[in-house]
Amino acid sequence: MFEIISKYIEEFSKRFLDQTSTVVQCMIKTEVDYITSSIRASIKGGIREGFEAIRKNIFYLFVAMGATMVGMVFIIWGLAKAFEEAFKGMGPEGTGFMIFGAVLLIVGLMSFSMSKTR
């Protein structure tokens, strides 16, 4: 009689533990999925809102950068032409461009070497 009752209690407790562990596992998985989706949505929403906030500024920044670069090219080209006119009779054609390019190269190398951390 004790044997039958002990087997019954053992079987009942085994099934009960299996069911509760399955339920607990499902609950934990559901909570982890919810937290993961919440974090993912927060990050996605934050990135989207941040990009929307700075999108207009980025457009104007690219326009300003492009205009500045084109302006610098024309200024440098004009200065090189001026050097070419100044050194016209001193050597072969293009001497002014070479001198101006060498000066810019030296200035660039000096500023690059000065910008390195010591």
pLDDT for the residue 82: 84
pLDDT for the residue 117: 66
Question: pTM above 0.75?
Answer: no
Cβ-defined contacts of 67-72 (< 8 Å, 24+): none
Residue extents of the structural domains in the chain: 2-115
Q: Profile the chain (118 residues) by mean pLDDT over runs of 10 residues.
A: 68 69 73 80 81 81 89 86 80 80 87 76
pLDDT for the residue 112: 82
CA 80 distance to own-chain centroid: 38
- Please provide the DSSP assignment of 9-65 as one string: HHHHHHHHHHHHHHHHHHHHHHHHHHHHHHHHHHHHHHHHHHHHHHHHHHHHHHHHH
